[in-house]
Amino acid sequence: MRLAPLLGLLYVLNAALPAATSPNVVLIMADDLGWGDLGSYGSKQNHTPNLDRLATEGMRFTSFYATQAVCTSSRVALMTGCYPNRLGLGGTALPPDSKLGLAETEQTLGALFRNAGYVTAVIGKWHLGDAPKFLPPAHGFDESMIIPYSNDMWPLGYFPGDESRKTRYPVLPRYTDGHRMGLLNDWNDMDELTSMQGYRSMKFIRDCARRGRSFFLYVPTSMPHTPLGASSDFKGKGPTPYAETLADIDRAVGGIMRTLDEEKVASDTILIFTSDNGPWLNFGKHAGSAAHFREGKGTTFEGGVRVPLIVRWPDKVEAGAVSGALVANLDVVPTLVKACGLTPPALPIDGQSFLPILRGESAKVRDEFVYYYGDRIEAVRKGRWKLHLPHAYLSYENMPPPPKDGAPATTSRRQIELSLYDLVADPGERVNLADKNPEVVKDLQSFAAAERKRLDAGKRPVGRAD
């Protein structure tokens, strides 16, 4: 009789562990890195050998989108598979002491993996709310070492001696496992931030591998978001401060790749690298590149939302493959759910799995995409066609030079009217074909109206701190 309870306990414990065939996942997301910033995406300035090696060993996407071109909103999409305005967090970079955050009823990738028995960790920039109920332990992460929001939300400004943010922001804290554990006090701390995040990521991988545990590691790096920092091995030694910071990030990624190899888990690990949005172009030599695309961060032009995506999964994803499939970061959740055999989120999501693309079973999984900013639909895409609806936007074109190296230049506000672009022939969105293609315009306007109605019908409450 006493054997039955023991067998029941063993069953429960076994069910809490992932299947032996379930892959580990390392998801790395840089901050404000542009489409044109990696060597594998055409950069001639930045030295990114580890990320370029990742591209030769995995699949590189050329039409991957951040769901909104701003920090918090993009992270909401990546972590939940939802358009961020569905969850009340569109168009925002949450400030310190925010009363808003990702609602506890939403299941992040951390929660989905932990429910499947994985060990979960986030190391880097969180930015989904800094109240205790919004921090990583409340969203499925067993371990966490984070700064709670962007690294410019501190009193020391964008460069040494900058007084512009001194009265606007408090000190910048670090949190470990939900507890405040120190501060970023000075520029030396900023220079060491990327290395620290890389070393802590490597330790987590080693610990899990040596315990024989499957793991999900999310590494949202704090940089190359300004203010830039770089370790002494790179600082002052590159063509630009941005290139130095990116070299530091590349080394951290290389350390993660090396640790996976040393612990003999690389073949059982899906390794993903992407960016949260396009480059913050008004920072001059401290900014990245959108390559041939128009505008940058904070816009719904391609330069603001089209970003790198590289996925390596040995023996599952063809090495060196390049895909032009339309994919977005809200599609990562359903893709990993399918790839790792997770239980899907309980609430509806907007993403679509692109696992068939990774496996070479299909050339595409979605043909449509909606470009929201805040709660506005500013553009929609079907296939090669992109329609901008009339809206005002931030423009980086024809800016004056920054007043000081590291300081932001002055941007402008402009207005775009109804405009249709062929993204295959005109990826820079310069030739308006609306007058020549009225039926395409009409179809895309109908699609936008239907999407507006669909999202409005499914909106859920934003998280609120007590």
pLDDT in tens, 107-161: 999 999 999 999 999 999 999 999 999 999 999 999 999 999 999 999 999 999 9
Regarding whether 132 and 71 lie in a shared domain, the answer is yes
Co-location of 361 and 429 in the same domain: no
Mean pLDDT of 68-81: 98
Residue 127 designated active-site = yes
Same domain, 345 and 241: yes
pLDDT digits (tens, 9 = 90+) for 10-27: 434 444 455 446 899 999
The yes-or-no verdict on residue 81 having pLDDT over 80 is: yes
- Give the C-alpha separation, 66 to 195, whole Å: 25
Of 47, 71, 82, 208, which one is the catalytic site residue?
71
Residues 119 and 140 in one domain: yes
Is residue 5 in a domain? no
441 with 312, same domain: the answer is no
Whether 208 sits among the annotated catalytic residues: the reply is no
Beta strands at 143-147 and 119-125: parallel, antiparallel or unpaired: parallel
Q: CATH no. for residue 379?
A: 3.30.1120.10
Q: Give the burial string for 402-436 (b: 16+ CB within 10 Å, else e).
A: beeebbbeebeeeebeebbbbbeeebbbeeebbee
Whether residues 361 and 425 share a domain: the answer is no
Alpha helices (H) in 71-224, listed in sequence order: 71-80, 109-115, 187-210
Q: Is residue 275 part of a domain?
A: yes
Q: Which has the closest alpha carbon to 112: 264, 20, 21, 214? A: 214
pLDDT on residue 366: 95
Residue 466 has a pLDDT of: 84
Q: Where are the beta strands (DSSP E) in 192-299?
A: 215-220, 269-275
Place of tokens 């530091």: 248
Rounded to whole angstroms, how far apart are CA atoms 247 and 7?
53
CA nearest to 238, candidates 189, 285, 185 = 285
Q: Other CB atoms closer than 10 Å to residue 320's CB: what's the count?
A: 11
Same domain? For 349 and 378 the reply is: no
350 is a domain residue: yes
Of 127, 225, 286, 388, catalytic:
127
Claim to verify: residue 256 and residue 192 sit in the same structural domain? yes
- Cβ contacts of 452-458, under 8 Å, gap ≥ 24: 452/377, 455/83, 455/85, 455/86, 455/350, 455/370, 458/86, 458/348
Give the model confidence (pLDDT) of 25-45 as tens digits. 999 999 999 999 999 999 999
SS3 125: strand
User: Quick one: pLDDT at residue 452?
Assistant: 98
d(CA 387, CA 381): 6
Domain contains 258: yes
220 φ/ψ angles, rounded to the nearest 5 degrees: -85, 95
* Residues 377, 322 within the same domain: no
**What pLDDT score does 168 carry?**
94
**What CATH number is associated with residue 37?**
3.40.720.10
At 21 the pLDDT is 62
- Indicate if 168 and 203 belong to the same structural domain: yes
In a domain, 3, yes or no: no
Q: How many distinct structural domains can be found in the chain?
A: 2
Domain that holds residue 444: 372-464
Only one residue has tokens 């709310």, namely 129
Answer yes or no: is 234 within a domain. Answer: yes
242 and 272 part of one domain: yes
Residues 31, 279: Cα–Cα separation, whole Å: 9
Residue 288 in domain: yes
Q: What mean pLDDT comes out for the span 75-100?
A: 98
Question: What does the mean pLDDT of the chain come to?
Answer: 95
Q: Please say which residue of 318, 333, 366 terminates a domain.
A: 366
Q: Which of 349, 366, 383 is the last residue of a domain?
A: 366
Q: Of 119, 118, 113, 107, which is closest to residue 144 (Cα–Cα)?
A: 119
Residues above pLDDT 90, as percent of the chain: 95
Same-domain check for residues 351 and 409: no
Rounded alpha-carbon distances, angstroms, from residue 316 to 62, 240, 259, 270, 354: 20, 37, 20, 9, 13
E strand residue ranges, 290-349:
306-312, 321-323, 327-328
Domain boundary among 366, 387, 414: 366
pLDDT over 60 (residue 445): yes
Domain membership of residue 7 (yes or no) is: no
